[in-house]
Structure 1
Amino acid sequence: MIDHNVIKLVREFLTRYVREISLPILTHVRTLAIRYGSWWRVNPFRRALIDVAIAYLRSGFIIRSTMLVNMLRDVIIDVLINTVVRRLSFIAYVIGIRLGGFGNPIIAGLQWLNRPVQYRWLVK
């Protein structure tokens, strides 16, 4: 089972890198979630929001509402978390980057994940 702190770290990492909302990003996230089987675990209203935004952008319109952009950004982050939380290499990469060690961040993250829980320090 994945620790709540690890999911929080992944959410912070994805929040830093998901900045804009565009048609290629929305279609890529939906395709990725369908491919890895996590699309059906997403809330149906959130799935519908992505589908409607894709249809709206394909019609040639532009999303200008900041509230809608923020909602879509949150939905994309949730879909990506459901997708990548099952990939140990991604979680190890995020933890390794947060640890700031030298060398390969995936190896540092895997070493941290492999420690017993009582010997782990909180990644800041």
Structure 2
Amino acid sequence: MKRKAVRMGIWWRMQPLKRALLDATIMFLRRGGVVRAVRLINMIKEIVQELLTYILSRKVVFVAYLVGKELVRRFREYLGIVNDVKYIIHLGIQWLNTPLIYRGP
């Protein structure tokens, strides 16, 4: 994941302390160490989630999924309960392709 972030130029947007913590953790794990501290694991999870958000936010499918999820939440009474990921992505793509004039509030 670090390689992909460096390739995409996202690695340098992160805070230096977060990058250092991730680098130290990677080096520690490569040498055979095991991370057991719960607080450290939670901190690493937060950093990885932030990094994944930066990486995936450039993908259209991810953006369409987020928009579709919001549409399903907003129009739950009309759509009912929707658990199908493909349907959510299709809704998001349809909304993204709709001209601004025709989009509702």
TM-score, normalised relative to structure 1 = 0.62
**Corresponding position: 1:94 with 2:66:** yes
**Residue-by-residue CA offset, 1:66-107 (whole Å, 9 max, x unaligned):** 000000000001111111112222111233356238654322
Structure 2 residue 80 is the aligned partner of structure 1 residue 108: no
Letter aligned with residue 74 of structure 1 = E
- How far apart are the structure 2 equivalents of 1:68 and 1:77? 14
Please tell me the residue identity of whatever aligns with 2:56.
V
- Matched residue count: 92
Question: What amino acid is aligned across from residue 42 of structure 2 in structure 1?
Answer: N
Match of 2:47 in 1: 75
Which stretches of structure 1, 4 residues or more, deviate above 6 A after TM superposition? Answer: none
Deviations 1:36-60 (A, max 9, x none): 2211111111111111000011111
User: Identity percentage over the alignment?
Assistant: 34
Higher relative contact order (CA 8 A, sep 6+): 1
Q: CA RMSD in A?
A: 2.5
Letter in 2 for 1:109: G
Q: Can you list the C-alpha shifts for 1:97-121, whole angstroms capped at 9, x where unaligned? A: 562386543221122334549714x
In 1, distance between residues paired with 2:62 and 2:95? 14
Check conservation: 1:101, 1:108, Cα contact below 8 A: no
Q: Distance in 2 between matches of 1:40 and 1:74?
A: 17
Whether 2:27 is the aligned partner of 1:42: answer no
* Further displaced range: 35-44 or 71-80: 35-44
